[in-house]
Structure 1
Amino acid sequence: MIESTRGIVLNYTRYAESSIISHIYTQKLGLQSYMINQVRSRKKKDKHVFLQALSLLDLEVYHSEKKTIHRIKDFKVNTPFTQIPFEPVRRSLAFFLAEVLNKALKQEDKRDANLFTFLHQSISMLDSHLPGVQNFHLFLLFRLTRPLGFFPSMDSNEALPYFNLKTGTFQQSEPAHPHYMNHSETSILRQLSEIRIEELDSLQISQDDRTKFIEKMLEYYQLHLSGFSNIKSLKVLKELYR
């Protein structure tokens, strides 16, 4: 069966001499794997988009519920990138978020139109002249917890200074386990709940606090998503922001 759908490229694995298997989160079919032949051939430069993290595509695909790897009939770029491939910070953020999405979305079949729309719009914003882009990944990781099913219980009482990563709730005192956010990390979490993506530059935090917050958010994901493993590209972000 031929299906038409939008897609977001997450990552790929090499296959044979010049082919790859590309992992793409699609609007209609959820997370799928597609065989792309001759993608690394010099004669097939148009297929380089399947190597770029978070590329936004319009796809016509051959789909069968009996198969785990499918074929692409035709494709075109939905939104050409003008900054992500050429700007080190945005490019590194794209690789980091693509790795997170690939591990988070594969936990179950996510055919969520609202989730896809949110991701598509957010990625387009990452490629724009977005103020405060250094905080983009914080915002996306926080907002993504809602469709994934473990959005923090945002208590209106701002006096509660600790966020319990196990329960997803705020509390007055430190938990009896190490899985929690301290005062400054909890403050960042609250700020993220109150701003829009266009207001990321209002989040004034140090690089050290930003790094610690991201580590805590990834720990939060690991606690609530079975099989969510370490994010290798986090190391690149740390080096970039030094």
Structure 2
Amino acid sequence: MIESTRGIVLTHTKYAESSIISHIYTEHYGLQSYMINQVRSRKSKGKTVFLQPLTLVNLEVYHSDKKTIHRIKDFKVSSPFSLIPFEPIRQSLAFFIAEVLNKALKHEDKLGNDLFDFLFHSICLMDDNIPGIQNFHLFLLFKLTQPLGFYPNFEEELEKVFFDLRKGMFTIHEPVHPNYMNVWQSKLLYKLKSVDVNHLDQIELNGEQRTEFIEKMLDYYHLHLSGFSNIKSFKVLKDLFR
């Protein structure tokens, strides 16, 4: 059956000599895998968009609930990027975010149109001249915890200075295990609760602090998402923000 859906290109794996299997988060079917032929050849005919993370596409697909790999009948880019593929920071963030989404959504049921709309809108903003783009991934990782089901418990958080990653809540006493945020990291987590995506420049961090906070957020994902493995592209970000 041919169906229409919007999609966000995440990652891909090579298949045969010139094909790939593209992992795309779709509006109607959640995370799906699609066989794309002749991508890595001279006859690609624009199919290289499926190699570019976070590309926003409109798809006509052959969909069947009985299959794990589907095919695309037709496609077009819905919002061509003007900045992401051409700026090192945005391009590195795109690879990182796409890898996180691919692993975070892999074992989840369909999470509804609200999540798709949020991601679609966020990616469009990422391609715009918003201030504080170097903090965009902090904002996105925090916001994603809500639809994924492990949003931090902020009850009485101002009186408690450590965020326990295992329990997902703030505490007065420093946990005896290593899975927690220290005082400044916990304060930053609280700040992300109210910061607007257009004011990410209000978050003042040096490269080391940004890396440490992201490491804690990824630990948080590891603890609460089954099968969430290491994010390989994080190393590029660490080197970029060093």
Scaled to the shorter chain, the TM-score interval is: over 0.9
Q: Which amino acid aligns with 1:18?
A: S
Equivalents in 2 of 1:108, 1:219: separation in Å?
18
SS of corresponding position for 1:21:
strand
Sequence identity, in percent? Answer: 64
Equivalents in 2 of 1:238, 1:72: separation in Å?
36
SS of corresponding position for 1:85:
helix
1:53 aligned residue: 53
2:150 aligned residue: 150
Q: Which amino acid aligns with 1:171?
A: T
1:90 and 2:112 aligned: no
**TM-score scaled by length of structure 2:** 0.98
Counterparts of 1:30-41 in structure 2, within 5 Å, are 30-41=30-41
RMSD of aligned Cα (Å): 0.9
Counterparts of 1:71-220 in structure 2, within 5 Å, are 71-220=71-220
SS of corresponding position for 2:199:
helix
1:20 and 2:13 aligned: no
Equivalents in 1 of 2:197, 2:147: separation in Å?
17
Q: Which amino acid aligns with 2:173?
A: S
The question of whether the paired residues in 1 share the 8 Å contact of 2:162 and 2:186 is answered with yes
Equivalents in 1 of 2:155, 2:205: separation in Å?
22
Distance 1:101 1:157, change over 3 A: closer
Equivalents in 2 of 1:207, 1:86: separation in Å?
22
Equivalents in 1 of 2:141, 2:66: separation in Å?
33
Aligned length: 242
Equivalents in 1 of 2:40, 2:229: separation in Å?
29
CA offsets 1:72-94 (integer angstroms, 9 cap, x no match): 00000011000100100000000
2:3 aligned residue: 3
Equivalents in 1 of 2:68, 2:109: separation in Å?
13
Equivalents in 2 of 1:156, 1:114: separation in Å?
28
Equivalents in 2 of 1:111, 1:203: separation in Å?
29
The question of whether the paired residues in 1 share the 8 Å contact of 2:221 and 2:228 is answered with yes
The question of whether the paired residues in 2 share the 8 Å contact of 1:162 and 1:182 is answered with yes
**TM-score scaled by length of structure 1:** 0.98
Kindly state the Cα deviation for residue 111 of structure 1 after the two structures are TM-superposed. Answer: 4.0
The question of whether the paired residues in 2 share the 8 Å contact of 1:29 and 1:111 is answered with no
Q: Which moved more, 1:109-118 or 1:88-97?
A: 109-118
Kindly state the Cα deviation for residue 155 of structure 1 after the two structures are TM-superposed. Answer: 2.5
